[in-house]
Amino acid sequence: MIEIITIGDELLIGQVVNTNASWMAEEINGVGWSVRQITSVSDNAEEIRRALEEASLRADVVLMTGGLGPTKDDITKDVLCNYFSTRLVLHEAVLQNIESFFRRKGLPLTGLNRDQAMVPESARVIENPMGTAPGLAFEKDGKLFVAMPGVPYEMKHIMEVFVLPELVKSSDSQVIVHKTILTQGIGESFLAKMIEDWENSLAPDIKLAYLPSPGIVRLRLSMRGTDRMMMEAKIAEKVDELQKLIPVYIWGEGKETLEENVGKLLKERNKTLSTAESCTGGLIAHRITSVPGSSGWFAGSVIAYDNRIKIQMLAVNAEVLEMQGAVSKEVVEEMASGVQKILQTDYAIAVSGIAGPDGGTDEKPVGTVWIAVAGPQGVVSRKFLFGDERMRNIQRSSTAALAMLREQILNVK
């Protein structure tokens, strides 16, 4: 069992979201260990010490992030010296790394940066070429403690070069097998109803969790034991059954994103894509281009926020726009065909909707969104009614649009 302690006033004041803990937890689970608890405490010596003591009673490995930066609010190193009965000493290799780090960046070195080369004497130092604060590992009462910087990519580096390999080495024979099935287009409780019999047929040692997020519900099956192959076979069998039960809603598995999935499908078929976005304001293009290599299938986009641009850049008929309004089947289909033709792509997505908070009417309330997909077989469109929240509407529109594109490419539904 592992516990994660994330240190920093910014977490308890809510100015930073704890993305470190979720990344660490996922990686830890991936190598067969479980996280028992994640604890966030402030930059206060007593609180850090208390969290450290409590975690050490429950876990075999305690991982800490945060509180190792160059500025004055960071005090973790002193607590570690105190807890592990050691003292700060200058570490030559760390100093050299800091100096070379600043040289590479062409930046001058401050005294604060140089102080980061002072490390607890009994610690095993894990180099951090990505930054200036090294990782620090300790052993006490047969347990492993590792303190890492809070900067995400620095923490990730230390996890990858040191913590995860150590965990693999000292792992007992128990492993966890996970499989996550990704669904789209159906709410959690309807899905639960639809797969109720299947869920009841799961062996008691298979655990099922529903993980909903805007527009997507993930189903995670997990099993703990010693025989990885047997467990994987058991889970695969249940996943096959699920595939047959709800083929329309399942679009992928594991950590894959919808944009990665769509990108892969386009690449395999050697097809290209463009988007014409109104209410999503570029989010679909952003999601598509967040995938490495997306320049291979994504040509570009026209963000036609202003109606004038829908006419000028996407060749939407001005009379149709006037008559039907921007949020209409006719306009969104013209937007999709327009961008497909102008940017010369095989597929095109268009979205026009009322994200809110303003702009709603009785006939077209906030949350009304039209989405069209143009493809080799023509244009299809669908109307959605999401909710009242602007950011959620934008997010759900982008997910629904990518899912519609996927259906068109695969010719499902």
Cβ atoms of residues 211 and 69 within 8 Å: no
Which range, of 18-26, 78-86, 135-143, 244-252, touches its own copies by CB under 8 A? 18-26
3-class secondary structure, 212: strand
In what order do the strands lie in the sheet containing 378-385?
273-277, 347-353, 368-375, 378-385
Query: Can you tell me which of 247, 357, 376, 378 binds its own copies, judged by CB under 8 A?
Result: 357
Applying CB under 8 A, which of residues 14, 57, 204, 319 lies at the interface with its own copies?
14
Nearer residue to its own copies within complex by CB, 22 or 243: 22
> Considering the rule CB under 8 A, would residue 265 count as an interface residue with its own copies?
no
Site string for its own copies, 83-102 (x = CB under 8 A): --------------------
Residues of this chain, 131-170, that bind its own copies according to CB under 8 A: 132, 151, 153
Question: CA–CA separation, 54 vs 84, rounded Å?
Answer: 15
Closer Cβ to its own copies, 18 or 340, answer by number: 18
What character string, x for contact with its own copies (CB under 8 A) and - otherwise, covers 173-212? Answer: -----x-x------xxxx-xx-----x-------xxxxxx
The smaller minimum CB distance to its own copies, of residues 7 and 137, is found at: 7
The encoded tokens of residue 33 equal: 């260990």
Dihedral sign for Cα atoms in the order 284, 287, 290, 296: negative
Strand partners, 379: 374
Identify residues 277-306 at the interface with its own copies (CB under 8 A): 277, 280-286, 288-290, 292-295, 298-306
CB 130 within 8 A of CB 160: no
Ranges of H-type helices in 246-297: 258-269, 283-289
Give a three-class secondary structure readout of 154-187.
HHHHHHHHHHHHHHHHHCCCCEEEEEEEEEECCC
Specify the residue, 240 or 306, whose C-beta has the smaller distance to its own copies.
306
The pair phi, psi for residue 172, each rounded to 5°, is: -80, -175
Window 372-401: residues binding its own copies (CB under 8 A):
389-392, 394
CB of residue 214 to its own copies, shortest distance in Å: 10
**Closer by beta carbon to its own copies, 139 or else 306:** 306
Specify whether the CB–CB gap between 94 and 134 falls below 8 A. yes
Q: Which is nearer to its own copies, 82 or 180 (CB)?
A: 180
Which one, 89 or 194, has the nearer CB to its own copies? Answer: 194
Binding string to its own copies for residues 26 to 45, with x set by CB under 8 A, is what? xxxx----xxxxxxxxxx--
